[in-house]
Structure 1
Amino acid sequence: MAVRASDVSRIPGQRTRPEPPPETPPGKPMVSWFDPAVLAKSGVKALLSGTFGRQADRRLLDAVSQPQDLKFDYSEDNPQHPRDELWLDYVADLGDGWDSTYAVASAVTAPELVLTDASGKAHSTRGGDVLVFGGDEVYPTASVGEYQARTVVPYEDALNRRRHRPDLFAVPGNHDWYDGLVSFTRLFCQGRHSNGWHTRQRRSYFALKLPHGWWLLGTDMQLESDLDAPQVEFFTRVARKIAAADRIILCNAEPDWIKQQVTPHAGRDFLDNNIDFLEQKVLGKRVSVFLAGDLHHYRRHEDADGRQKIVAGGGGAFLHPTHLPKVDQRPGGFVQKACFPSRQTSQRLAWRNLLFPVINPWFSVFMGVIYTMLGWGVAANLNEGAVGAPPFREVINAALQSTGSLVLGAGVVLGAVAFADGRRGPHWKKAAGVVHGLAHMAVALLLTWGVSAVAAPLAAELQWSLRRDFFSGLLLFGGGALLGPLVVGVYLLLSLNVFSCHPNEAFSALSIPDWKNFLRLHIDTEGQLTVYPVGFRRVPRRWKRGRGPEEPVWVPDPADTRATPPRLIEPPIVIGRTKALPVKLGAGPPGPTGVMVDEHPPGGAV
């Protein structure tokens, strides 16, 4: 029996959704990833899910306890509801800050959306009958409460009875797995119907039969970035139902075609290659479109046959950079055709790391405490009997004689080594971490020297040593809260813009809500697939209540003049049911991607 939206609030352990104030949206701000509390909670969740997920794979249990049909039929062959065309929306990496998640949800759930491209040409689109979440449906970690506040409520308020509720299918990402997939399964795999969607899937993976020989397959890569054996068997059985001339849209949670380039030292083990087996041996070249999230930007690669590999992880989470040099082209002929934001914009945005202390205030407090612990004992020793500013060599000698400072300093260096990015190899990781840690030690020593120089003239006035040492501690805390995060920001900026490392850390620290995206797909009556990549340059920051059921619950406040409407990132990508070939003279007009459709399907499918 399906569960009504009102029943969602009765899920055990979930608090009832409060009524929002009349003019205040009920959402949450962007996740502050360098908040020590968030770091600790996410780290523990990741450790537990990684440890127990390997031992008790939820997918193996669901394969036995949750029967599911091989396909959900949205084609013209469906006897109950035949479709000669279909609109479908793809949204990945959502459920973060209210402004970004709700802005995307408002566009996705609109009955109609007119999109302009760079030339000013308008394209009329319709809201999808099917909605696919492509992974990481909530941040920072999965729980019923976080799903409700960051994902369910924004889509319910955005739809607001403006049109029919779409059928939702969700692909789990690593953040959905941080509670062992428990909350994901309860929300998306048990027939629960919210006011924003219907759910039909019973497992964390699925197959959709679409009109005119198109199929959409959604996989579950778990935390190990691979498929379990029952899932491979499921898709092998599905593949037997797919004709040689049919085309497939394959949705994975992660873009392996990019990750294998930027992290070459983390390649798959021989035993962990089920996703490769599925793509290459089971499905073959029937896969015309690869869709993935996980990287929070838009990027499209295309090969000479017109096959597409698209990353569209802009559903609401913080922005990821697009200016890493190793992902422009990969062996196999897939060449980058577009990205959003541009490489130049991405490189410029990285300079915001110089504002690290301001953007991450709680991390500044944390670093202030660390620097105080590093230098307070040294400063107290220097203050004893001081009559002037001590030479810097005395600061070094005092630090070397302080056991507590040495132990904590070693911990800082080891922590920096553990934090360092290992994508350039283990030796690079150690070297970068040691340099980063020693930079903190050098800055802490200079700060302690400066604090001692300031406290020395006051030694006669502050005769009570405890009062004097307390004053030194305040100076160390304030200086550490400013300089410590600044060192981290400079390290991340140089790592990313010079050495192409730390893309996740350098941009998660910024929590940029803008440059969002989603994909709108249309299969027309002729069997042609058109992909509309929709982008948001700047999402609204201010909202007001809508005027009725013809509008969302919340609409952008006209006073927020800097917000920009959704528009096409690039011209629509047109893909035929069969193999696409480069345009030849006299062969006819090309489509928007500069390719035309051949009459013969490609070989290679199993």
Structure 2
Amino acid sequence: MTDDVLGTATPRPTSLDPQDLGFTPRKPVPWLGPVLLAITGARVAISEQFGAYLDKRELQNAFPDDTFDHSGTGELWFDYVADLGDGFDATYSVAYLLAQPEIEVDGERLPRGRVLVMGGDQVYPTANDHAYEDRFRGPYRAAMPTPPPGDPVPTLYAVPGNHDWYDGLSAFLRTFARREGTSIGGWRTAQTRSYFALKLPQRWWLLAIDSQEGGYLDDPQLTYFKNVAKQLAPGDRIILATPNPSWVKAQESTREYDTIDYFLRKVIAPTGARVALMLSGDLHHYSRYTLADEPPAVDDTAGGGLGGTGRQLITCGGGGAYLAATHTLPSKITVPPKQALPREASSGKEYKLARTYPSKARSLALATGVFWRLPRRNASFLVLLGVLQTLLMLAIVDLRGRVLTTPVFVMVAATFGLTLFFAAGLTSGHRAAKHYILGVTHGFVQVALGVGGAAVWQELPMLHWPRPLPALTAGAFYGPVIAVLSAQVVALYLLIAGRLLVNVNELFAGQGIQGYKAFLRLHIDTDGTLTIHPIGVDNISKHWTPTPAAASYEPWLEPADPLRPHRIEPPITLR
């Protein structure tokens, strides 16, 4: 697919046919698919063991080191979205709202941002040119094909997430960091590296760092930001965008926050500037932490919303990917954590959880939907369970008085191996004894299910039919039934393990909940006030109507199911 030429109108599609659209609208990623599970486990292992050898950040020293100035207007509206390149319906629902000239939320009209910052994972599950085209560029080009006439061309910047990193940033750099820039529909890219600095009005700055999975800051990146720091002055305020919410992840794996703390101490602190807001995606929900000793904010929407002076820590990963749990978030966190290893680490401050979307109660209720959503959303996973359980049953009924046979040993070993891999192999970060205990227990239950199934099968007449009829009958009738029962065991395991903070991601990834999307619309006023509008969308649209007769800059597709954006909480005002 060739790059768009900014401002050039292309023929508008008349249908959702890929040949007409120029890209293929993709279904949500089946995260529990066997092949994808294996690939994910392999990538986690590779990223942990060989990530340094795949790091292209050192090579970016040869790229331009521009700082991007958006400070000349006196005030500025800009948007933040993250975790967007999954299924078309959810991704395009959010892109459609971001592309509108303005949106109305709770009676207030908020204009489209002149800058769009993407906080990571612009594509799933794998970063390559075809995936970026179908899951990111295509939907965003369809949402705003060309810049509206007379309006300033909005600029797009992106932080790489862990999925953008799976190919060592190759496709990410080709998409976002070309020297001459490129266009994605009506948005214009400008950055030349995987990190960037934006000078905003009224002495505000937005600094976006590339520190994937708590990794070190490479020397070219440190040099870049030290040069940026020379432009900072005491009293300047900073929005720091990071690839993941290390302030939350550090509560379990304390080293997650080390890189951010180093950056704050060594680069920002000497300038006298203050980090007022930290933004991240990676966790697919909205959450906000605020200083625990700050006076309670007053809900005064008419007067500007929730006022505050302390640092805000916001995770907003609702751009299109499946919903992640909020009920497992800690109510209070210490940042940096008390167990931080660096001797020079900053003194820890306590933060309290101020708001989540969805609410913790709603998240807990959604978790129980794993019993019916998991079988519906993961057909290939059910096939895997059915095949394994059928082979296990056939091995058991063929014992013929023997205590153990090679097929039984192989199938039992495979069952325990897969359940252990599921509990511990997919988990990034610290693996504790609970991971292995849960994996072994899950394995015992799956084997017990196979033994029970074999006992029932032995009572049926098909067992005595001539071969291969018993095996064929088992595959046709026993397999589908035992697959559903085995899936219910997996669902129960995920629900229990999730309460112990194991496989929490898989508990929600397996359900593929597409609702509860979120993004931020931010405004810097002429008096220097930053107002953050957290926008939520409970239900996405799943049906779209082509608009071939509309103006060239209007969306290619209109939602047949109305999108109803609303405030997640009153605006947060940093004065």
- For 1:27, give the aligned amino acid: P
The residue aligned with 2:442 is 436
2:117 corresponds to which of 123, 132, 137: 132
d(CA) in 2 for partners of 1:380, 1:475: 18
For residues 6 and 449 of structure 1, do their structure 2 counterparts lie closer, same or farther at Cα, with a shift above 3 Å needed? farther
- For 1:291, give the aligned amino acid: L
- Does residue 239 in structure 1 map to residue 234 in structure 2? no
The residue aligned with 1:412 is 415
- For 2:64, give the aligned amino acid: P
- Does residue 268 in structure 1 map to residue 268 in structure 2? no
CA shift, 1:282, in A, is 2.5
- For 1:409, give the aligned amino acid: V
- For 2:486, give the aligned amino acid: G
Instruction: Within 5 Å, give how 1:19-58 maps onto structure 2.
Output: 20=18, 26-58=24-56
Deviations 1:105-144 (A, max 9, x none): 011111111111xxxxx22211111111101110011010
CA shift, 1:95, in A, is 0.8
TM-score for the superposition, normalised by structure 2: 0.86
The residue aligned with 2:298 is none
8 Å CA contact 2:385, 2:487 repeated in 1: yes
TM-score for the superposition, normalised by structure 1: 0.81
The residue aligned with 1:310 is 314
For residues 149 and 135 of structure 1, do their structure 2 counterparts lie closer, same or farther at Cα, with a shift above 3 Å needed? same
The residue aligned with 1:591 is none
Deviations 1:68-99 (A, max 9, x none): 12x21111xxxxxx211111110100110111
- Does residue 373 in structure 1 map to residue 391 in structure 2? yes
2:457 corresponds to which of 451, 456, 470: 451
For residues 321 and 369 of structure 1, do their structure 2 counterparts lie closer, same or farther at Cα, with a shift above 3 Å needed? same
Instruction: Within 5 Å, give how 1:86-485 maps onto structure 2.
Output: 86-116=76-106, 122-161=107-146, 163=148, 164=151, 165-190=153-178, 191-261=181-251, 264=252, 266-268=253-255, 273-284=258-269, 286-303=274-291, 304=294, 305-330=309-334, 332-355=349-372, 356-381=374-399, 400-421=403-424, 426-455=432-461, 459=464, 462=465, 464-485=466-487
Which structure 2 segments of 5+ residues have no match?
A: 7-15, 295-308, 336-348
CA shift, 1:480, in A, is 2.9
The residue aligned with 1:73 is 69
Q: How many residues align?
A: 523
- For 1:94, give the aligned amino acid: L
CA shift, 1:58, in A, is 0.3
- For 1:362, give the aligned amino acid: S
For residues 451 and 196 of structure 1, do their structure 2 counterparts lie closer, same or farther at Cα, with a shift above 3 Å needed? farther
CA shift, 1:378, in A, is 2.2
d(CA) in 1 for partners of 2:196, 2:23: 34
CA shift, 1:54, in A, is 1.2
Deviations 1:303-360 (A, max 9, x none): 1242210000000001000001525443613211111001111001111111222221
For residues 268 and 22 of structure 1, do their structure 2 counterparts lie closer, same or farther at Cα, with a shift above 3 Å needed? closer
CA shift, 1:276, in A, is 1.5
CA shift, 1:554, in A, is 0.8
Q: What SS does the aligned partner of 2:458 have?
A: helix
d(CA) in 2 for partners of 1:57, 1:26: 30
Deviations 1:366-405 (A, max 9, x none): 11111122121322455xxxxxxxxxxxxxx65x422221
- Does residue 511 in structure 1 map to residue 512 in structure 2? yes
Q: What SS does the aligned partner of 1:453 have?
A: coil
d(CA) in 2 for partners of 1:572, 1:409: 55
Q: What SS does the aligned partner of 2:492 have?
A: helix
8 Å CA contact 2:85, 2:122 repeated in 1: yes
d(CA) in 1 for partners of 2:138, 2:415: 41
CA shift, 1:162, in A, is 6.0
d(CA) in 1 for partners of 2:53, 2:329: 37
CA shift, 1:192, in A, is 2.1
d(CA) in 2 for partners of 1:425, 1:4: 44
Q: What SS does the aligned partner of 1:521 have?
A: strand
Q: What SS does the aligned partner of 1:176 have?
A: coil
- CA RMSD in angstroms, aligned pairs only: 2.5
Which structure 1 segments of 5+ residues have no match?
A: 8-17, 76-81, 117-121, 383-396, 577-606
Deviations 1:486-542 (A, max 9, x none): 21111001112x323322110010111110000011111111111110100001111
Deviations 1:244-277 (A, max 9, x none): 100000000100111112xx2x3328xx933221
Identity %: 38
CA shift, 1:66, in A, is 0.7
